[in-house]
Amino acid sequence: MRFMYIVTSPQPMQAPAPALMQAIGKITEREIKAGRMVDNGGLMPLREGARISVAGGRLSVTDGPFVEAKEVIGGYAIFDLRDKAEALAMAKEFMQLHLDHMPGWEGTCEMRAMIGHGTEMGCDEKAAILTEAIQA
């Protein structure tokens, strides 16, 4: 089952400590070799992005940075793991690196199971799960 990790922080975006990047590199190499990590990466600053919204039947584009941003997504990772327990263990290991190598940093790793092509369930079941997620 695939899981996406989304790392956010309420603090202003800052460059990761070199020790953190080295530690993440070691985990990345290990997990890619084991066939568990599908993709990962950091995100550019908000000023480099844009938001495309649908509201009132119209599309609108807002160039970054976004004044109302309360949390900034700093990075993501996608893993192919056995189950939620293994996914939680991996997320905890990853966040421990931040605790060890970025004193004072605060943030969250949101872990979400993914539904995609090849997910073994019918369209109605996928729609029900997505509807439930939206209403939560």
pLDDT digit string, tens, across residues 11-55: 887 888 999 999 999 999 999 999 999 999 988 888 899 989 999
If we measure between CA atoms, which residue out of 10, 1, 14 comes closest to residue 106?
A: 10
Residue 132: band (very low, low, confident or very high) from pLDDT cuts 50, 70, 90: confident
Higher pLDDT, 55 or 124: 55
Higher pLDDT, 48 or 126: 48
- Please give the Cα distance from 59 to 119 (Å, whole number): 31
Whose structure tokens read 């092509």? 117
Q: Where are the domains positioned within the chain?
A: 2-135
- Please give the Cα distance from 83 to 115 (Å, whole number): 14
Cβ neighbors of 22 (< 8 A, separation 6 or more) are none
* Token pair recorded at residue 56: 């009132």
Q: Which CATH superfamily is domain 2-135 in?
A: Dimeric alpha+beta barrel (3.30.70.1060)
Residue 126: band (very low, low, confident or very high) from pLDDT cuts 50, 70, 90: low
The reported pLDDT for the residue numbered 124 is: 72
Please measure the distance between the N-terminal and C-terminal CA atoms of the chain and give it in whole angstroms.
Answer: 22
